[in-house]
Amino acid sequence: MSEMKNYIFAKNIYDLDELVEIDWLPEFEEIMDYNIKNKLGLDLVVHGSYGDFTYNNFSDLELTVIFNKPYNKIDKKSAINIINRKIHKLCITVDPLQHHGPFFITSKDILCYKPKSLPLEAYQSCWSLRDVNIKFHLKNTDSEFEEISKWRYRKTIDALREPKKSFFKHGKNLYSIKRMLSNFFMIPVYSANANGMRIEKREAIEQAANIFPDYFIMALKCGTDIRSSWPKKNNLLSYIRKKIVRDRIPQGNFDLVSTKFFREKIIEHKIEEDFLPLLNKAVKEIEWRHQ
């Protein structure tokens, strides 16, 4: 029998001293002012590493847009405008190498949340601009969630098995390297979710040392070192991508070409010489899981 479980997330922005370090806060507030002025009824919730303030140069912006109005009462033109022209540009302001846009949910989704697109644990540490808490009603669908997690695990393993055909088919650069590493770091949480463990990504990575075999742990440490030594954001790339972004991230072939010119020899060397050999062995160790 299914049952409803309630979870409350989203701290208020003014309760968080850490926000003095967020240099893109003015742009964030500007979006919310536009939202209020046009009566769009949106909440913007920041989660991930910017949600718990453990971000570094590698971090992208994980953002959820919540539509608090029924879909048929949303001013769609204004909503599309704020997403295409403002929110996507904010993501690229935070991280010029951003390879995904925000997540979207509606007030109806919150009343019966099914974690197909994003596990609820992703909101474990988050904050919003509004002085409210967001109460999710999670429908207990453990078996479905585990099957989805197994599918994500297998799909990610398939991509990591042949990175030259998946992540590097258009060349090896900071953008493609970041996409590969981001997928690799999802393996522990997909595996945990597939086993019925509802934990967030950071906790799953911390537990990996006790669960995964040697080469995976070595690859995890190597990837963590690369992520920690990631260069500061490139303002020129940010400017170019913000000029061309519209309805999605990435935006067309020119966007893909623009990212290819931004490279870092030290990072590329570590990937080629250190990480990829470990990744090859790590995948062979764990590809049998969740089959």
pLDDT at 14: 55
| Residue 289 confidence class, pLDDT cut points 50, 70, 90 | confident
Is 274's pLDDT higher than 90? yes
- pLDDT at res. 70: 66
How confident is the model at residue 16, as a pLDDT?
Answer: 67
Q: Which of 38-52, 134-148, 169-183, 206-220 has the lowest mean pLDDT?
A: 134-148
pLDDT tops 70 at residue 12: no
Q: How many CB atoms lie within 10 A of CB 270?
A: 18
- State residue 205's pLDDT score: 93
| Lowest model confidence (mean pLDDT) among 5-14, 43-52, 240-249 | 5-14
pLDDT band at 266 (very low <50, low <70, confident <90, very high): very high
Rg (CA), the chain: 19
- Per the CB < 8 A criterion, the answer to whether 90 and 249 are in contact is no
Strand partners, 5: 138
Average pLDDT rounded to a whole number, residues 14-37:
82
Does residue 132 carry a pLDDT above 70? no
Q: What is the pLDDT of residue 3?
A: 44
Mean pLDDT of the chain: 87
pLDDT greater than 50 at residue 2: no
Question: What digits encode the pLDDT tens for the residues 69-126?
Answer: 766 666 667 777 788 889 999 999 999 999 999 988 888 888 888 777 788 888 888 8
- pLDDT for 39 beyond 70: yes
Percent residues over pLDDT 70 in the chain? 90
The pLDDT tens digits for 183-216 are 999 999 999 999 988 888 889 999 998 899 999 9
Higher confidence at residue 178 or residue 170?
A: 178
Q: Which long-range contacts (CB under 8 A, 24 or more apart) does 223-229 make?
A: 223/181, 223/184, 223/185, 223/275, 225/270, 226/177, 226/181, 226/267, 226/270, 226/271, 226/275, 227/56, 227/58, 227/181, 227/185, 228/56, 228/58, 229/266, 229/267, 229/270
Span 232-258, average pLDDT: 91
Q: If you average pLDDT over residues 236-240, what whole number do you get? A: 95
Q: Is the pLDDT reported for residue 133 higher than 60?
A: yes
- What pLDDT sits at residue 13? 58
DSSP the chain: ---EEEEEE-EEGGG-GGGGG-TTHHHHHHHHHHHHHTT--EEEEEETTTTTT---TT---EEEEEE-S-GGGS-HHHHHHIIIIIIHHHHHHH-TT-----EEEEHHHHHTB-TTSS-GGGGSS-EESSS--EEEEEE--HHHHHHHHHHHHHHHHHHHHSHHHHTSTT--SHHHHHHHHHHHTTHHHHHHHHTT----HHHHHHHGGGTS-HHHHHHHHHHHHHHHTPPPP-HHHHHHHHHH--SSSS-HHHHHHHHHT---HHHHHIIIIIIHHHHHHHHHHHTTTT-
